[in-house]
Amino acid sequence: MPSVDAQSPGHFLPTILLLLPFFSALIILLGHRVLKNASVLISVGSSVICFIASLTLLATKGAEGTVGILKFIDIEGMSAGIDAMIDDQSRGMMFIVTFIGMLVHIFSMGYMKDDEAKPRFFGSLSLFMFSMTGIVLAGNLVMMFIYWELVGLSSYLLIGHWYEKASAAEACKKAFLTNRIGDFGFMIGILILFGLNKGDLNIDNLQDAFVTGGPLAEALKNNPGIITVAALCLFMGAVGKSAQFPLHVWLPDAMEGPTPVSALIHAATMVAAGVYMLVRVSFVIVTPLAAETIAGIGCFTALLAALMATQQADIKRILAYSTLSQLGYMVMAVGAVAMVAIDGHAAHGAHPGHPAMFHLYTHAFFKAMLFLGSGAVIYACHHEQDIWKMGGLWKHMPITFWTFAIGTAALMGVPPLSGFWSKEAVLGAAFDSGCRVLFLAGAATAALTAFYMTRLLVVAFLGKARTESAHHAVEVPLIMALPLLLLAVFSVFSASGVFSDFLQAMKPEHVDAPGEGHTVLWTSIAVLLVGSISSFLLYKGKDKDPVRIKLFANKFYFDEMYAVMVRIGQDGLAWVVTALERILVDGLVARLPTALVARIGAATRMLQGGHLQGYTFLLGAGIIAVVYLVVFVLPRTH
């Protein structure tokens, strides 16, 4: 096995990162009845080793390259293997995935202590780690798609962990199917690039094919429309995975899964994979239409989800809508950066100072922390998730409260916490794009974020306990508190120099344009104050929600609209098509020959007696007879 030196990233670490969780999942799947609780140790152990491996990988800073790990398809004209692409971006992302993954594994040892299906849970968690490291390392788009679908599977299994509950069973199905719609587009995008780039889907080579006048640059010159289509199709994959409008509906329902899963998969890593992929292939976003569409969808999702979040009562759902909104932020940043690059005729691509990636990094820590914190609350309140049935928790659960407060402050963008810097970077990108609407909507989203997070904190943690279960809540055990504390440290510092250099998630350099002043900075501080103060005054000491906006509470009725669309567009169409198939195909194509043969059959019944057995034998014999005639008679008549 080649050793890891400064120049070559080596095979060893990526192989460990990819295969260890796979074997962990496989062993648990095959042997969980024998292993019982040992499967927990296998899964947690593999996550710890992966974390150490990713730390070692961070130390190889500077070494870049793609190394082949396993063969997959390798034929003339199409070669797609399991290749690890190591660069600063994948190293940084790998740290996030394995670090939060490990903490979630540890937290789950406490949270899932009494669950009967613990081995299944930890097996699926390992499967997820395997799939997610695959996305991070993916060196070509086929591999990206493979792991893309596999995270979908592990998400399906984990959302449906309590499959006996109808709501969980429906939610996991919905998540998988909604993602499939996104993947439909993703695959078309991949196929277009496959065709245009003559079968080469290696991400580095694709970028070269744009930059150094390869076939993709040619296609862009001759037919920019198809490049726009390709970019938007790839984006559709991200729309599904990162739950952007109009495919956002699955993420809130995914909260049916155990809370540690929500923290890892549906907040910190998998849903961010859409953004990661988009940044990875952002060299394809070279047409204004594509860039503007992406920025627009991101911005719209951010605002829409923030509005929905203001009226939810379920603690996990508030966080879920908040995640949607923050993902919208990241997607908006991808679009905005592309818009700037197109305006400046500059080639752009994945680089460590990308605002979207920067926000992805900081968000991963504080959102995972908030979800684990909500898990601690739910655990302490005996599976109560309604914030109006909580209250006064700060007294009973000080660690949870203070860490949750830090996470909230980071999410709202209180300076100098991590979230402040990354949010400012995103708003800065929106500002630089020159599109006022993006910037204003981004600022409005920031105000709403401060509003709904203050509401959550005030209602759930401050004031007096409103129910018995909240009154008797006690602090969670150390095994659950420890991940909270660690994540809180990262929530504070992850954007500051040493940390972000270490993570290779550098703060983007925002250069103030002349005459711009500090618009972005002052705007973000102003909206923070407006949002949080108004919310604090409104919700302080309240026992029930003083504001009732049905439209927001009911999520703009998207679920209902989609239900109607599915009923008409799919089930209705299926009904019509099935009826037509029965009548036309079965009626005409099937009946005619049947009737014909039956006539002949009736005429010859005396010979055959009408028995099917006899008939089949005669048919076989008849065919052979025909062949015989053809073989022996035809040649002679030639």
Partner 1 sequence: MSVLEIVILLPVLAALAVLFGAPARAASVGATLVNLIIVLALSWQYAAKGSTGLAFTHAREILANPAMSFSVGADGVSLILALLTAIVMFAAVWQIQDRPAIFYVASLLIGGGALGAFLTTDVFFIYAFHELALIPTFLMIALHGHAEPIERKKVAWKATIYLGIGSLVLLAGLVWLVVEFSEGPHLTFDLTALRKVAVNSPLPIEKQGAIFFVLLLGFGTLVSLFPFHSWAAPAYATAPTPVAMLHAGVLKKFGLYGLLRIALPLLPQGANVPWVQNALLLMLLGNILVMGLVTIRASRLDETLANSSVMHMGYIFLALAAGSEIALKGAVLLMFAHGVSIALLFALTGKMRNQLGTLEYSKLGGLASHAPAFTVLFAFGAFASIGLPGLSNFAGEVMVFAGSFTGFKGVLTNLHWTVIFALWGVVMSAVYMLRAYRSIFHGSATTGLFMSDPVLPQRLPLILMAATLLLTGCCPWLLLNLLKGALAAG
* Gap between the Cα atoms of 377 and 172, Å rounded: 24
Report the residue number, 550 or 636, with the smaller CB distance to partner 1: 636
Nearest to 8 by CA among 65, 87, 47: 65
> 3-class SS at 69?
strand
Mapped onto helix, strand or coil, the DSSP state of residue 86 is strand
Q: What's the longest Cα–Cα distance across the chain? A: 105
Q: DSSP labels for 400-468?
A: HHHHHHHHHHHHHT-TTSHHHHHHHHHHHHHHHTT-HHHHHHHHHHHHHHHHHHHHHHHHHHSS---SH
- The least CB distance from residue 620 to partner 1, in Å, is 5
Task: Supply the minimum distance, in Å, between the C-beta of residue 276 and partner 1.
Answer: 18
Task: Tell me whether residue 3 or residue 637 sits nearer to partner 1 (CB atom).
Answer: 637
Task: Find the Cα–Cα–Cα–Cα dihedral 192, 198, 201, 203, rounded to 10°.
Answer: -100
Closest CB 565 distance from partner 1, rounded Å: 13
- According to DSSP, the residues that pair with 83 across neighbouring strands are 68
Nearer Cβ to partner 1, position 211 or 584? 584
In contact, 93 and 130? CB cutoff 8 Å: no
Q: Of 522 and 617, which has the nearer Cβ to partner 1? A: 617
Smallest separation, CB 624 to partner 1 (Å):
7
Nearest approach, Cβ of residue 279 and partner 1 (Å)? 22
- Region of residue 213 (left: phi > 0; alpha: psi -120 to 50; beta: else): left
Please state the closest distance from residue 78 (CB atom) to partner 1, in A. 5
- Specify the residue, 226 or 521, whose C-beta has the smaller distance to partner 1: 226
End-to-end Cα distance, the chain? 70
Q: Are 393 and 460 in contact (CB under 8 A)?
A: yes
Closest CB to partner 1 among 537 and 626? 626
Instruction: Give 76 or 509: the residue with its C-beta nearer to partner 1.
Output: 76
In the bound state with partner 1, the residue whose beta carbon lies nearer, of 537 and 624, is 624
283, two tokens = 């060299």
| CB nearer to partner 1: pick between 61 and 71 | 71
- 147 vs 321, beta carbon nearer partner 1: 147
Smallest distance, partner 1 to C-beta of residue 409, A: 40
Q: With b meaning 16 or more CB within 10 Å and e meaning fewer, what string describes 464-489?
A: ebbbeebbebebbeeebbbbbebbbe
Residue (35 or 226) nearer to partner 1, CB? 226
Specify the residue, 513 or 624, whose C-beta has the smaller distance to partner 1. 624
> Shortest approach of partner 1 to residue 368 CB, angstroms?
27
**Cα gap 352→372, rounded to integer Å:** 28
Preceding amide of 246 cis, omega within 30 = yes
CB distance 208 to 214 below 8 Å: yes
* Shortest separation between residue 168's beta carbon and partner 1, angstroms: 8
Least separation in angstroms between residue 257's CB and partner 1 is 14
Half-sphere exposure of 29 (CA within 13 A, CB side): 12
Q: Is-contact 378 330, C-beta < 8 A?
A: no
Q: Considering the complex, what minimum distance in angstroms separates the CB of residue 227 from partner 1? A: 9
Q: How far is the CB of 628 from partner 1 (least distance, A)?
A: 10
Q: Is there a contact between 298 and 248 (Cβ–Cβ < 8 Å)?
A: no
What is the tally of helices (H) and strands (E) in the chain? Answer: 30, 2
For 551-589, the DSSP string reads: HHHTGGGHHHHHHHHIIIIIIIHHHHHHHHIIIIIIIII
- If you search the block for the tokens 């079965």, which residue do you land on? 586
For partner 1, give the closer residue by CB, 199 or 415: 199
* SS3 category, 386: strand
How many CA within 13 A on the CB side of residue 298?
Answer: 34
**Integer Cα distance of 502 and 497 in angstroms:** 8
CA gap 604, 602 in Å, rounded: 5
Shortest distance, CB of residue 581 to partner 1, whole angstroms?
Answer: 6
